[in-house]
């Protein structure tokens, strides 16, 4: 990038930042949603500051929790008939995140699981205001237990806010397994090794080797339970999961694929976020159901073309990229902002019904059932 390009980029960001300031002053909600967390949002600069302060200035490490026994972090969920709410990339702290959580709680879920990312960099203050305060506003935690996974944004400030949040939620670690007699939900930590905002678009997350062993042990000791895998980052994508050494986008994450490919036939479904979109994929890499549900709060405009498949990806030996369900796509509202979404999974002994909802959270619209499937 040349000097004039740098000046032009600075000028563009400054103009967008000014527009965002006036939108907030005038409470122009559609304009705020268009600009908040865009490249012109000056709060993104704090991400670099927080990263520098934790990792480079204070020279601290992420307080990742490792097991003492392979049986650690297995949490019984008791009943064989229950309801689980899933949200992802939800921790923006904006009004539409507030509205979406209110809509989720109308279903009275027994469990609420967030697949990660509290913005901008998961600081203690952001973990409180963008997550815990809203949880306490809408969720009776005596009736609904709450879990949250580690995303890349949760780790940009070293995970201080995230791990403090886990203590407040009573969650034992950043990875865990929920079990009843018929099902198990294995939540993994893909944020641990994606903690640098300086390499966010190129990094290919991987699990701590001991955590990989832990997950394999859970699959091997499932005792005929059906397994649902949960992660923040995606196994595969039609827009790429990171970049190879030549800067070409990769169609799938080779680290996660290597960790689970021998046991993928045991996985009923894999839910992930990271992409701010709702996508149901056809079978790929021997996974029957890959589901991206990262559209719970982060603003996406119609000009972002979230459903446009990237061409020229490194397919890593696959013949074609993954294909999505064309009949399950989010709508946009009159302001050009994509609807937000969430998933409700109802377990009834050995069966499960997955109901995908969308809502115009910008205008406080009611939930609309988009699609249902049964496992």
Q: With beta carbons less than 8 A apart as the criterion, state whether 203 and 244 touch.
A: no
According to DSSP, the residues that pair with 82 across neighbouring strands are 347
Domain range annotation of the chain: 3-57, 74-374
Q: Check residues 228 and 361 and name the one with the higher pLDDT.
A: 228
Sorting pLDDT into bands at 50, 70 and 90, what band is 43? confident
Residues in the chain: 375
What was the pLDDT predicted at 258? 97
**What average pLDDT does the segment 30-59 reach?**
80
pLDDT of residue 16: 52
The span from the CA of 153 to the CA of 133, in Å, is 18
Instruction: State which fold the 74-374 domain adopts.
Output: Purple Acid Phosphatase; chain A, domain 2 (3.60.21)
pLDDT at 180 over 90: yes
User: What does the pLDDT look like over 293-350, one tens digit per residue?
Assistant: 999 999 998 888 999 999 999 999 999 999 999 999 999 998 889 999 999 999 999 9
The more confident residue out of 141 and 18 is 141
Helices (H) and strands (E) in the chain, counts: 10, 13
Predicted local distance difference test score (pLDDT) of residue 19:
60
In angstroms, the CA 292 to CA 25 distance is 35
Which of the pair, 184 or 44, is modelled with greater confidence? 184
Q: Is the entire prediction scored with pTM above 0.85?
A: yes
Give me the pLDDT at residue 196, please.
Answer: 94
For residue 311, give the DSSP letter.
Answer: S
> For all residues of the chain together, what is the average pLDDT?
91
Q: Does pLDDT of 37 surpass 80?
A: no
């Amino acid at each position: 990038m040349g000097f004039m390009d740098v000046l032009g980029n600075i000028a563009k960001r400054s103009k967008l930042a000014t527009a965002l300031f006036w939108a907030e002053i005038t409470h122009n909600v559609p304009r705020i949603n268009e600009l908040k967390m865009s490249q012109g949002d000056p709060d993104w600069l704090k991400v670099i500051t927080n990263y520098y302060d934790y990792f480079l200035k204070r020279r601290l490490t992420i307080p990742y929790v490792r097991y003492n026994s392979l049986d650690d972090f297995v949490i019984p969920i008791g009943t064989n008939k229950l309801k689980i709410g899933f949200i992802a990339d939800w921790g923006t702290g904006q009004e539409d995140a507030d509205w979406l959580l209110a809509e989720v709680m109308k279903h009275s879920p027994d469990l609420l699981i967030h697949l990660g990312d509290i913005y901008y960099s998961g600081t203690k203050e952001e973990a409180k205001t963008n997550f815990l305060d809203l949880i306490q506003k809408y969720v009776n935690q005596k009736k609904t237990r709450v879990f949250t996974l580690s995303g890349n944004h949760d780790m940009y400030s070293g995970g201080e806010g995230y791990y403090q949040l886990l203590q407040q939620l009573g969650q034992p670690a950043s990875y865990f397994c929920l079990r009843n007699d018929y099902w198990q939900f294995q939540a993994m930590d893909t944020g641990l090794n994606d903690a640098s905002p300086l390499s966010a678009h190129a990094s290919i997350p991987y699990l701590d080797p001991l955590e990989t062993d832990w997950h394999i042990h859970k699959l091997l000791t499932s005792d005929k339970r059906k397994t649902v895998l949960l992660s923040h980052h995606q196994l595969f994508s039609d827009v790429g999961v990171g970049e190879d050494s030549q800067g070409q986008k990769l169609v799938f994450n080779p680290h996660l694929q290597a960790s689970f490919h021998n046991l993928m036939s045991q996985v009923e479904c894999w839910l992930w976020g990271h992409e701010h979109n709702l996508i149901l994929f056809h079978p790929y890499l021997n996974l029957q159901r890959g589901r991206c549900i990262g559209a719970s709060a982060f603003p996406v405009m119609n000009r972002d073309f979230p459903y446009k498949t990237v061409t020229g990806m490194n397919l890593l030996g696959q013949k074609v990229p993954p294909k999505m369900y064309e009949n399950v796509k989010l709508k946009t509202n009159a302001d050009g902002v994509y609807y937000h979404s969430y998933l409700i999974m109802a377990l009834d002994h050995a069966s499960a019904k997955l109901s995908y909802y969308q809502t115009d959270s910008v205008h406080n619209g009611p939930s609309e059932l988009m699609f249902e499937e049964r496992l």
